[in-house]
Structure 1
Amino acid sequence: MARALLFTTLGVSTLALLTSGWTAWNLHRSQSPERVVHARGLVVHDANGQARVIVGAPVPDPASKGRTQGPRAAALSGVILLGPDGSERGAYGTSDRGGEALLTLDDASGTTEVFKVVANPDRGASLMVRHQNNTGAMLTSWQGKPELLFLDDSGQTYYVRPGVNAAP
């Protein structure tokens, strides 16, 4: 009987030591500065609990004041910046369709892209600057030649292309 009790005590003690060692090792690994976190998304909240940064693959559809504005043109993986009211204020990411990389900055309401850069592996790059009154400018090379486009508040477009007279 004493021998059975001794072996039981040794077995339970060994199991407890192994479990403690395994737990300590995992705790050490989780706190290591060289750890790598694998995830499909991360949401960073401010002191008030409002989401302010979203990192995801893919990221959610654009929002204005916390309400979804409809689906994105194509799934996007990257970083989304949100204003204090939950409106999307900018994004940096890659599109799942077409291989484009893009950077956008949005107005305070999150409904107008006021600055956008798109790099397409097959079509070159475009830079767009826009005001809420619909005036804007675009510099692009997507047709294989540099092109500059101006849009006034009446909707009139003016182009500048190589080999074409400049806009008035």
Structure 2
Amino acid sequence: MIASWTLPKATSLTAMGDSLRLHKLVIVDPQNRERIVIAAPIPDPIVSGKVAHRRNIVTAGIQFKDPTGTERGGIASLADSSFVVGIDDETGRERAHLYYLPKRGSGLYLQGEKETETVSLFIPLKGANPTLEMTDKTGKKTQLLPNQR
């Protein structure tokens, strides 16, 4: 059985069996504020009420928003086949990423209160050794494993 609905703004939605096909699904809270957006492509983030343009094209993803509409995290598939899971703080600043970059490798990247305070675990492609790098609040490397001579 095929069901079809007409939604506001002349948008149509078609359901066929157990499948629902659309470009964007927006989950709202009881106050009708966007909280989760699932889309292909994903829209640019809103940070403190302003649209911020993405550095990369996100071909598909899930965007999580706080009650003010600020993006707080997401899961993204990028045009270059990269895949990223990100967590942002309450100001919309990127704080944690788990990622796979097809031309480089995979890793985990964390930022402290200052952007210079970081922890990076990186596993490159093609059998190169993984690295663990830490920097302090001033941006000075405090640890690099394996130690480079």
Alignment-derived partner of residue 87 in structure 1: 70
Please give the per-residue CA displacement for 1:77-111, whole angstroms capped at 9, x wherever unaligned: 11000011111000102101x2100000100111x
Alignment-derived partner of residue 153 in structure 1: 137
After TM superposition, list the pairs within 5 Å mapping 1:4-153 onto structure 2.
26=2, 34-69=17-52, 71-76=53-58, 77-96=60-79, 98-110=80-92, 112-134=93-115, 135-142=117-124, 144-153=128-137
TM-score (norm 2): 0.80
Please give the per-residue CA displacement for 1:17-59, whole angstroms capped at 9, x wherever unaligned: xxxxxxxx5459x9x8942111111111111111000111111
- CA drift at 1:142: 3.1
How much is the aligned-residue C-alpha RMSD, in angstroms? 2.4
1:152, 1:123 → 2: CA distance?
25
Secondary structure of the structure 2 residue equivalent to 1:84 = coil
What is the count of residue pairs matched by the alignment?
136
TM-score (norm 1): 0.72
**Is residue 147–residue 159 contact of structure 1 (8 Å, CA) maintained in 2?**
no
Uncovered stretches (5+) of structure 2, i.e. residues with no partner: 5-12
2:129, 2:109 → 1: CA distance?
16
1:36, 1:142 → 2: CA distance?
38
Name the one with the larger helix percent. 1
Uncovered stretches (5+) of structure 1, i.e. residues with no partner: 1-24
Who wins on radius of gyration, i.e. which is larger?
1
Moved over 2 A (4+): 25-28, 32-35, 142-145, 161-165
Aligned sequence identity (%): 23
2:61, 2:103 → 1: CA distance?
21
- CA drift at 1:65: 2.6
